[in-house]
Amino acid sequence: MMIRILFLGDIVGEAGRTAVIRFLPAFKERQKVDFVIVNGENAAAGRGITPKIAINLLRAGIAVITTGDHVWDQKELIPFLATEPRVLRPINYPAGVPGQGSLVLETSKGKIGVMNVQCRTFMQPILDNPFRAAMEEVERLRSEASVIFVDVHGETTSEKTAMGHYLDGKVSAVIGTHTHVQTADERILPGGTAFLCDVGMCGPEYSVLGREIEPIIKRFVDSLPVPFPVAQGAVMISGAVVDVEVSTGRAIAIRRIQEYVESPISSSSIF
């Protein structure tokens, strides 16, 4: 039996999250998707995620929300993480930090483990060793589920690629997030793990990583701090579809997706 997992990259602001909610129903039906994971750490005006946004994304059919270095940017999320295990923070935070970095969910096709880990190179804050933390948690998850999906949140292609090979044969998929630019290196590694260095973002296409273009240029030209508002216009949905054999946890196929959603209608009725 095969399970089909859809993973969507960093949701950027209201435009991104509204577009994702519009996009999901038809895509799930058309592509026969069984399970949806999104990275939501930029969903609140491009910084962090609030409990209200998380709840509405979960109600839209998303099973698990992963995060990264912006997980704490909306302070009201901190107590919420203690009550909602489907919103993950990176696994390699020190012991005692609110929330959890992994979970196992039951589906009609069996159990799925999901794990969120953050890299260290050029990342702040510098967390515990992601490789040691990931392997320790994967060993624990493998006692509960054969299908394990890993969101590796990091800046450099080298560290994320190394994580893919490190976990090859032990998890079903290692998919990177954080840079908002989709890479073209999707593959099935020798041990049967699907890998993609960065899945991209769900945010305004005409932008710099989802932000308005001119302020970003000004920052690079003048080196002065300026606000980086989320851009407007048509949204690019970036993600990956991974097919996994449930009995073995081995990936059968991985396919990148990029689809465009016109400028979303007012989301006041949704959020």
Q: What is the pLDDT of residues 53-98, one digit of tens each?
A: 999 999 999 999 999 999 999 999 999 999 999 999 999 999 999 9
Q: Does residue 228 lie within any of the structural domains? A: yes
Q: Please state, for a pLDDT cut of 70, what percent of the chain lies above it.
A: 96
Q: Does residue 270 lie within any of the structural domains? A: no
pLDDT at residue 263, rounded to an integer: 55
Q: What is the mean pLDDT of residues 4-32?
A: 96
pLDDT at residue 169, rounded to an integer: 98
Residue 125 has pLDDT above 80, yes or no: yes
Q: Does residue 271 lie within any of the structural domains? A: no
Q: Is 182 helix (H, G, I), strand (E, B) or coil?
A: coil
Report the alpha-carbon distance of residue 116 to residue 102 in Å, rounded: 6
Bridge partners for 2 per DSSP: 245
pLDDT at residue 271, rounded to an integer: 37
Q: Does residue 267 lie within any of the structural domains? A: no
Report the alpha-carbon distance of residue 65 to residue 195 in Å, rounded: 19
Number of compact structural domains in the chain: 1
Q: Does residue 266 lie within any of the structural domains? A: no
The mean predicted confidence, pLDDT, of the chain is: 94
pLDDT at residue 241, rounded to an integer: 98
Residue 45 has pLDDT above 90, yes or no: no
Q: Does residue 217 lie within any of the structural domains? A: yes
Of 100-104, 155-159, 174-178, 215-219, minimum mean pLDDT range: 215-219
Structural domain for 232, as ranges: 2-261
Q: Does residue 25 lie within any of the structural domains? A: yes
Q: Which of 152, 157, 5 is nearest to 92 (CA)?
A: 152
Q: Does residue 8 lie within any of the structural domains? A: yes
Cβ burial of 15 (10 Å; 0-12, 13-18, 19+) is buried
Which CATH number covers residue 205?
Answer: 3.60.21.10
Bridge partners for 87 per DSSP: 65
Q: What is the pLDDT of residues 176-217, one digit of tens each?
A: 999 999 999 999 999 999 999 999 999 999 888 888 989 889
Q: Which residues are catalytic?
A: 70
